[in-house]
């Protein structure tokens, strides 16, 4: 059956590309993906696959039921875009000013839609069910995964698989990792409150810029001196705002940053360390402060058995030329929530554009993928789905 599925996916590759390019031209931001959700649901309705819309917000969930009862496999793709101006010179360039698919979510969606279409052709041979989870709002915490789970998208699901098209790796590459794979992604805001005044009379002020500048330096000591060197963590101040005239000493300054960790105890420690260091720095300068820490997605932690199973399934996928373990990634992904509820694994599918030495990174205005990666992703997900259903049914019969 797998060979037929692979051939059918090859035959539908042109349609897969057409879907991806249509979505690329019509991107929608997180929590505003109304037309995209409608496009996805209409696709399933035309296939005759039962579909539920408005799941946890703009989420769409379709369920393909085989000829006989059996295990249930879930596959997930996200479909939101980013607030970035598309600067590529291509026919499928975004038509929406200031919005583009700069992370491959259009490709994820096209991959899953065509895989669903192909599996629908062989549903008479499937023993079990396949749940296609199309998730909104992956790019912006709190994200769409947690609300979709609360709305029942994982009800009855035994295992879940997901992939991310990864433009830094060559096409033909599948990257996996057992255990922690992607980091928890948190953000923080610190407002330093001083007392402004004339630039020529600093002794009559409490300079918020000087205090905030010292704070930025002091925060760098958290990872270098407070976290065990064998562990991984990032504390980054990404925004420093204190607008004023050239001859005015600022009365306030705002810092916004991100924290990335894999270990929950380190995550909590850094949250407390930022508060402690901010308090001490502001006390030294006789300034006050406000501190907010927002916990985003938890770390993506893959299950060992399911990850090893995926590796075996991938070995039989045509055009996969390299299977390797990915290094830990500091990027965040709310696929983490699914893995907290059911067993499964998340992996990367190489999508580096052809004839490019250094591809533009994810979230870049000129980001793009090699669309052949979608076909490999579909075959890998399809292989994992079918082989899981077959192996679990054999286990049930043996017991």
Q: For residue 368, which of 100, 140, 173, 22 has the smallest C-alpha distance?
A: 100
Asked whether 58 and 144 are in contact (CB, 8 A), the reply is yes
- Rg of the chain over Cα atoms, rounded to whole angstroms, equals 24
Task: Tell me the HSE value of 207 on the side-chain side, using a 13 A CA sphere.
Answer: 15
Distance between CA atoms of residues 19 and 126, nearest Å: 26
Q: Tokens 């699901």 identify what position?
A: 157
What are the C-alpha distances in Å from 350 to residues 163, 263, 377?
10, 27, 9
- Among candidate residues 80, 186, 251, 334, the one labeled active-site is 80
What residues contact 54, with CB distance under 8 A and at least 6 apart?
none
Whether the Cβ atoms of residue 110 and residue 21 lie closer than 8 Å to each other: no
Residue for token pair 């985003």: 296
Choice among 33, 138, 139, 207 that is catalytic: 138
Please check whether residue 196 is in contact with residue 253, taking contact to mean a CB–CB distance below 8 angstroms: no
Whole-angstrom Cα distance, residue 20 to residue 351? 14
Helix, strand, or coil (residue 206): strand
Contact by Cβ (8 Å): 172, 373? no
Q: How many angstroms separate the CA atoms of 143 and 24, rounded?
A: 20
Are 329 and 260 in contact by the 8 Å Cβ rule? The answer is no
Which of 158, 122, 101 lies closest to 305, judged by CA? 158
State the DSSP code for 392: H
Q: Catalytic site residue 325?
A: no
CB-neighbour burial class of residue 391 (10 A; exposed 0-12, middle 13-18, buried 19+): middle
* Cα dihedral 334→316→395→346 (10° resolution): -10
Catalytic, 80? Answer yes
Q: In angstroms, how far is the first alpha carbon of the chain from the final one?
A: 25
Which residues are tagged catalytic? 80, 138
């Amino acid at each position: 059956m797998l060979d037929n599925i692979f051939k059918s996916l090859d035959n539908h590759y042109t349609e897969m590309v057409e879907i991806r390019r249509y979505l690329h031209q019509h991107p929608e931001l997180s929590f505003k993906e109304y037309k995209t959700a409608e496009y996805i649901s209409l696709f399933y309705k035309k296939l005759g696959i039962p579909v539920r819309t408005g799941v946890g917000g703009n989420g769409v969930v379709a369920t393909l039921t085989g000829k006989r009862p059996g295990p249930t496999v879930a596959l997930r793709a996200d479909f939101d875009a980013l607030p970035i101006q598309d600067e590529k010179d291509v026919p499928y360039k975004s038509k929406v000013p200031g919005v583009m698919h700069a992370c491959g979510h259009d490709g994820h969606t096209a991959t899953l839609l065509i895989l669903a279409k192909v599996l629908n052709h062989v549903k008479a041979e499937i023993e079990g069910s396949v749940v296609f989870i199309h998730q909104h709002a992956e790019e912006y915490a709190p994200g769409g995964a947690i609300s979709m789970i609360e709305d029942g998208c994982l009800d009855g699901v035994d295992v879940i698989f997901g992939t991310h098209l990864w433009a830094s790796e060559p096409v033909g590459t599948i990257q996996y990792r057992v255990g922690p794979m992607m980091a928890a992604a948190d953000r923080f805001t610190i407002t330093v409150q001083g007392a402004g005044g004339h630039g020529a009379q600093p002794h009559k002020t409490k300079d918020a810029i000087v205090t905030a500048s010292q704070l930025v330096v002091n925060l760098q000591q958290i990872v270098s001196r407070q976290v065990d060197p064998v562990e991984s963590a990032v504390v980054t101040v990404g925004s420093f705002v204190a607008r004023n005239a050239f001859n005015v000493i600022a009365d306030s300054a705002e810092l916004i940053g991100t924290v990335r960790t894999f270990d929950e105890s380190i995550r909590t420690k850094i949250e407390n360390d930022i508060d402690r260091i901010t308090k001490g720095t502001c006390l030294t300068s006789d300034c006050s402060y406000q501190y907010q820490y927002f916990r985003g997605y938890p770390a993506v932690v893959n299950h060992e058995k399911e990850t090893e199973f995926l590796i075996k399934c991938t070995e039989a996928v045509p055009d996969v030329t390299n299977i390797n373990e990915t290094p830990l990634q500091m990027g965040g992904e709310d696929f983490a929530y699914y893995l907290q509820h059911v067993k499964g694994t998340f992996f990367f599918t190489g999508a580096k554009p052809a004839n490019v030495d250094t591809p533009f990174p994810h979230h870049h205005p000129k980001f793009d993928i090699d669309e052949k990666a979608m076909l490999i992703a579909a075959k890998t997900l399809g292989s994992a789905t079918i082989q899981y259903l077959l192996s679990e049914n054999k286990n049930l019969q043996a017991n």
